[in-house]
Amino acid sequence: MRHRVAGRKLSRTTQHRELMFRNMVVSLLQHERIKTTLAKGKELRSWADKIITLGKKGSLHARRQAFALLRNEGIVKKLFDEIAPKLKDREGGYTRIYKMGWRHGDGAPLSLVELVTFSSPTEKKSTVKKAKEVLEKVTPKKKGKEEKKEKGKGKPKEKKEKPKKTSSQEKSK
């Protein structure tokens, strides 16, 4: 019986399992989302939460502990400077797991593990486009631009003006 035994073995030796999860945590922090099997994703969640909690502490000791696990200065810097400040108000649950179906080769259930702060680039583009459309509707149009648009469409609309009468013409009437 496995009473009160935490973690999954995943049919790997201890060294292999620990190195695999170290690499997965580094990839998760670097890319902010990774695709893996469901069992690995569920176990990765606890590793990621522990390392992000270290990032939230922000002390030199926590930074050294994170480096001891991650072994990558760039990722440690990103963790403490970018990721941890975004999650400072959050008490836990820094990762999200989506089930993605099954792998074709062996039928293993796949999952997408991402940080809660992750936002896809398509969302940013769509909000920018929407903002530009709203601004175009709200802002007053300039006359110079309107005249250029009218000229580009075809023949410009010309108003036929009546010739002005000179003072000599008015006297003759």
Q: Which residue has the tokens 């989506």?
A: 98
Per CATH, domain 14-123 is 3.50.50.60: no
Sign (positive or negative) of CA dihedral 63, 48, 20, 18:
positive
pLDDT of residue 131: 78
Q: How far apart are CA 170 and CA 33, in angstroms?
A: 84
Sheet architecture: strand order including 95-102: 33-37, 109-115, 95-102
- Residue 71 CB partners (closer than 8 Å, separation 6+): 22, 26
Task: Give the pLDDT score at 79.
Answer: 97
Write the pLDDT tens digit of every residue in 94-119.
Answer: 999 999 999 999 999 999 999 998 77
Element (H, E) at 96: strand 95-102
Query: What is residue 166's predicted lDDT score, i.e. its pLDDT?
Result: 65
Tens of pLDDT along 8-28? 999 999 999 999 999 999 999
State residue 158's pLDDT score: 58
DSSP class of residue 11 equals T
pLDDT value of position 152: 58
Query: pTM score, two decimals?
Result: 0.68
Please, what is the average pLDDT of the chain? 86
For residues 135-144, give the mean pLDDT. Answer: 72
Q: Where are the domains of the chain?
A: 14-123
Which neighbouring-strand residues pair with 141?
none
Say whether pLDDT at 163 is over 70. no
Q: Is residue 157 very low, low, confident or very high in pLDDT (cuts 50, 70, 90)?
A: low
Q: What is the pLDDT of residues 71-88, one digit of tens each?
A: 999 999 999 999 999 999
Q: Does residue 139 carry a pLDDT above 80? A: no
